[in-house]
Structure 1
């Protein structure tokens, strides 16, 4: 599990301030604290990946299982889109769905992930059939989609703020995969390359909404908890993958 000290200190901050809302800068720091303590870049599976210690089977298992998350992201975003309170917000949010599903003239992130699967030696058919998706991954991802469908829209938006932390991880991951796993065809890295520009744009949009619409202490606290929930979802996926594909060492 991730280091719990961050959560304890975070809770002290949350409940010692009484009825006073955080300032904008304080609120942003509380959100970033979640990433510093709980983002899945600190998971043992990712650490092993970044040390070049994963087998081909483990890499393929990660790609195949992560596909279930990738295909569910636009479903999650469609759920959020359906409850956004204005057409202006919907116009902005809909780009996320296009990024993943693509259009008639442009492939999206799901297609790019399938090409990554082919680059690591999986067939497109076995990925799309979800032959390798383990129950823990399915459960975690479905819980995330259900969160977006059932929670107030601003909490669902706040949960997406893991995009604040993803560009650094993605940039590092591309370099490491290319250097330490030379058997992977680098043509499969298109998904990661695209997210380097998409994720900052998306996080800027979501952060602007959270800062605007979460003004009371309770609204701010719920936004922080929503982001923590999303980090738990990502962590739980890696827990399930790590158990399904143990190290041979």
Structure 2
């Protein structure tokens, strides 16, 4: 339903709308105190393990979130683009050159590289209640909100490339005991995140045709930023 703030309001131009979305960058989790300590080399092994195990819970939820978007999206062209994201995270099927290789698998390798066993990550024994609540809320959002809002929530991609590039440099410098294969997630993600971010912006701008839809998209992105920070809040509290 239209709100008093959006009812009858002028639709933003694509440039204005995009600027509103990008203006949320200060809410992204790159400025979180836990991430600052991570990049400064001030985390101990236990803290890195707790972070890796809980971040894995978020990573494994992403393809389920994307599957929810596919289920709700009536636009075949968007579905064709979006289904590739599930493959990137889950890996290919038996007929592909690298079956099972994907972002989730690469994050498991990072968890192993910081000293966790695959079993203890997969059985979720280290997943904190706050992390589980925030991540599950994100998947529920994607399932229950209009598909374009769920797509807009993923626009944190706009802010992530610089963070990942810096993370590779800082972690290699400050945590040299982590084997190089543990960084496979970040090296692979850097190759796709810039293009994905632009594609997502284009989809959101094209499909938000009213001011109400635009404001809902901005709110969706703000919600996703809050989800990410809630994940780190929980890890920071228990580390």
Asked if these proteins are the same fold (TM beyond 0.5), I'd say: yes
**1: CA distance between counterparts of 2:180 and 2:234?**
26
Quote the offset at 1:18 in angstroms. 6.7
Matched with 1:3 is none
Matched with 1:39 is 28
Is residue 75 from structure 1 mapped to residue 71 from structure 2 by the alignment? no
**2: CA distance between counterparts of 1:171 and 1:30?**
25
**1: CA distance between counterparts of 2:153 and 2:75?**
20
Q: CA RMSD in A?
A: 1.6
List alignment gaps of at least 5 residues for structure 2.
Answer: none
Quote the offset at 1:16 in angstroms. 9.7
Quote the offset at 1:86 in angstroms. 2.3
Query: Deviations for 1:26-45, whole angstroms, at most 9, x for unmatched residues?
Result: 1111111111x200001110
**1: CA distance between counterparts of 2:53 and 2:130?**
13
Is residue 209 from structure 1 mapped to residue 203 from structure 2 by the alignment? yes
**2: CA distance between counterparts of 1:85 and 1:34?**
28
Runs of 4+ aligned structure 1 residues displaced above 6 Å come to none
Matched with 2:42 is 53
Quote the offset at 1:218 in angstroms. 1.1
Q: 3-state SS of the aligned residue for 1:179?
A: helix
Quote the offset at 1:170 in angstroms. 0.4
Q: 1:222 aligns with which of 193, 216, 220?
A: 216
Matched with 2:174 is 180
* Aligned pairs (5 A) from 1:104-143: 104=94, 105-106=97-98, 107-143=101-137
Is residue 152 from structure 1 mapped to residue 146 from structure 2 by the alignment? yes
**2: CA distance between counterparts of 1:172 and 1:181?**
14
Matched with 1:7 is none
Contact 2:151 2:204 in 1 (8 A): yes
How many residues are treated as equivalent by the alignment?
231
**2: CA distance between counterparts of 1:87 and 1:51?**
45
| TM-score, scaled relative to structure 1 | 0.89
Query: Deviations for 1:141-165, whole angstroms, at most 9, x for unmatched residues?
Result: 0000000000000100000000111
**2: CA distance between counterparts of 1:71 and 1:177?**
22
| TM-score, scaled relative to structure 2 | 0.93
List alignment gaps of at least 5 residues for structure 1.
Answer: 1-14
**1: CA distance between counterparts of 2:189 and 2:160?**
9
Quote the offset at 1:78 in angstroms. 0.3
**1: CA distance between counterparts of 2:71 and 2:21?**
25
**2: CA distance between counterparts of 1:184 and 1:169?**
19
Q: 1:236 aligns with which of 207, 230, 236?
A: 230
**1: CA distance between counterparts of 2:192 and 2:21?**
20
Contact 2:11 2:209 in 1 (8 A): yes
